[in-house]
Structure 1
Amino acid sequence: MQADNFVAHRGWRQRYPENTLLALREAVLAGAVNIELDVQLSADGEAFIFHDPTLTRLCDREGLIWDYPADALAKLSAHEPCRLGDQFEGTPLSPLRELASLLQDHPGVDAYVELKGESLMQFGCGPMLDATFSALAGIEERCVLISFELEALLEAKTRGWQRCGAVFDYWPDWQLASLAELAPEVVFIDRHCIPVEANLRQLPFPLVVYEVGSLLEAKDWLARGAAGIETFLIGELLEEAKLV
């Protein structure tokens, strides 16, 4: 077991507001070499690191993220008040382009960048990819685009993006034509939908299991043949595993 077997889900979410540059940076400082984040678009088409289509949970504001232009979103606080109270009030929403400075400061870290289906539906695949490609310019080789929407990943691949990974919340048909065409370097899958009898070592693509909440469970999945696990408790698990 190595640090490379762990993915920080939305950064170090257990302690910090998810999908903020703060949570991502603290995950890296805690020893993460793989971070995962989500992408939604603003009204004017700028890519932001954000999970929900609505602003309620993270910002305690009404409306959808694409109801606001980028300059208005930059003034909001993404401190997750319902979960974390006011301790991180003032933590800004992070434009995706800010990921570049984090990765440049930490050369050993890669990012899994999830294209959210809500923005793909709202804006279309082309604008979503345009915004994402622009934001990740210069760090493309350090970023794996992932999504539940395989068609968006296939379009990204057609446009020259080299690193892609699929995400499933069900046990897929591993012979699916679109999956074979994509040939993902990794597949993220919900732990709850993996059959007990499944031989993970015989799957055609490496598997990352989400959402894992203990080191014991992480060890079990890795022993079954998973390539990695994704967790909200990145710092805690790396420390418990004595990997930092």
Structure 2
Amino acid sequence: MITALSSTEFSHRLVAHRGWPQRYPENSYAGIKAALELGLQHIEIDVHLSADLVPVVCHDHHLIRLCGQDNDVRLTTLEQLQAFSFHEPGRLGPQHYPTKLMTLADCATLIAQYPSATLYVEIKRKSLYHFGRSTVLQAIDLALKPIQQQSALISFDIAVLQLAQRQQLGYPLIPVLLNTQQWYDKDIKQLQPPYVFCDDDDLDPAQNLHAIPYPAVVYEIADYEKAMALLARGALRIESFCCGELIAAHAAHVAST
């Protein structure tokens, strides 16, 4: 176990997955700002395009779960989308009503207020397949220009990262790996990623993460002991829906030792 991390050092090893969904609607302004105010320096979001080609911060292409609307974000204009409330009524009830959908440009404005923060923009495959990689990448690049030095592009879709590399857009290009075979894939190697995102389920429980080809950000970790064990094994960072709760657990652990 890693026991010598200060509270600040521990928070800097976390990636806020869609903001702070344990307390706020995912990918919301309120949740992302709350994570930043906790001192988190790594924020991950999801991006689709609206029907009028505006990048919006949204995980699902279909909106039933997020706002109870039988709409496809890709077939709905920004004006129409911003009339809905993205408060996740099924999971969180009415407590966060109304929650406005955030554009990527608005998210960039928020991140710019925290110069030490890095924004990881996951480019969703459903929009890539619907609009085409070039169209999606161009729209995202335009929205991120004000915070280019604070941004990284991530995706399960390796082809869009390869396109960004060919276009020399200047962002770190970070693949999300689907399986352990991809650790040694030549297309991944050519991207020269500074690190990769991966699922804990794809890792051997005894694996020394210092020995794998790239530093690993391990995602969807909610348990504090598991997070600490992964860091001790060599994980670069831990991505979680409940970073605030992990920070509180670490503070309690430090106080008890």
1:158-177 alignment runs, 5 A limit: 158-162=166-170, 163-177=172-186
Matched, 1:47 2:24: no
Partner in structure 1 of residue 68 of structure 2: 60
Query: Secondary structure of 1:201's partner?
Result: coil
Partner in structure 1 of residue 144 of structure 2: 136
CA contact (8 A) 2:50 2:74 kept: yes
TM-score, structure 1 as length reference: 0.96
**Which of 135, 149, 152 is the equivalent residue of 2:160?**
152
Query: Secondary structure of 1:172's partner?
Result: helix
Deviation at 1:199, TM superposition (A): 2.4
Residues in 1 aligned to 2:169 and 2:235: alpha-carbon distance in whole angstroms: 25
Residues in 2 aligned to 1:13 and 1:103: alpha-carbon distance in whole angstroms: 18
CA contact (8 A) 1:208 1:228 kept: yes
Partner in structure 2 of residue 4 of structure 1: 12
Partner in structure 1 of residue 213 of structure 2: 204
Deviation at 1:195, TM superposition (A): 1.7
List, as ranges, runs of 4+ consecutive aligned residues in structure 1 with deviation greater than 3 Å. none
Deviation at 1:198, TM superposition (A): 2.5
Partner in structure 2 of residue 238 of structure 1: 247
- Give the total of aligned pairs: 243
Residues in 2 aligned to 1:216 and 1:199: alpha-carbon distance in whole angstroms: 17
Residues in 1 aligned to 2:19 and 2:120: alpha-carbon distance in whole angstroms: 11
**CA displacement 1:132-155 (0-9 Å, x = unmatched):** 001111111101100000110011
Matched, 1:86 2:94: yes
Gaps of 5+ in 2: none
Partner in structure 2 of residue 17 of structure 1: 25
Residues in 2 aligned to 1:168 and 1:63: alpha-carbon distance in whole angstroms: 29
Query: Secondary structure of 1:37's partner?
Result: strand
CA contact (8 A) 1:31 1:235 kept: no
CA RMSD of aligned residues (A): 1.3
CA contact (8 A) 1:59 1:81 kept: yes
Partner in structure 2 of residue 26 of structure 1: 34
TM-score, structure 2 as length reference: 0.91
